[in-house]
Amino acid sequence: MFESKLEAKSHCLVIGPHCHTHLADVFLGEKSLNWARSIKYLGMELMAGSSFDIDLDQTRRKFYASVNTILRHCSGASELMKLYLCESYCLPVLMYAVESLNLCTTAVRKLNVYWNSVYRKIFSYKPWESVREVMKCLGKKNFEFMYYERKLCFLL
């Protein structure tokens, strides 16, 4: 029984230049482990590929679920209170372990768009309208700035 549980939780994942080549079987005791395209580790979906990558779609779903839950339950609250709650409970979903990742520019921009959508929703902006001025007036940072700031603190 112990072996079958361990076997079910154990997979192999290739990250690097040989990700598309056929690799030899890996065994745990007498049982062969499966090669996976993605695995869940510490709440993040790690993807097989030529470079280290995470599944941002899962992060996006978790983030928007938390944002929608908060905004649905505090419809009578002020905009600043809604923003405070989203910063406290939803932003950490986006920021989870990002300082330890080398995200590409496209990924950082996607996460920035997700965070900007919170401002659009709270302050009733259209999808094409910029929220930079609102953020600036409130003294808030965009996601991209927060990512690089955390990355720098992590590396130092």
Rg (CA), the chain: 20
- Do 66 and 132 belong together in one domain? yes
Assessment of whether the complete model's pTM goes beyond 0.85 = no
- Do 65 and 42 belong together in one domain? no
Range of the domain at 24: 2-47
Number of structural domains (the chain) is: 2
The 10s digit of each residue's pLDDT in 126-143 is: 999 999 999 999 999 999
Q: How far is CA 117 from the centre of its chain?
A: 15
- Do 146 and 102 belong together in one domain? yes
- Do 6 and 81 belong together in one domain? no
- Do 79 and 142 belong together in one domain? yes
Reading the block at residue 146, the tokens are 């927060």
The 10s digit of each residue's pLDDT in 92-102 is: 999 988 888 88
- Do 26 and 102 belong together in one domain? no
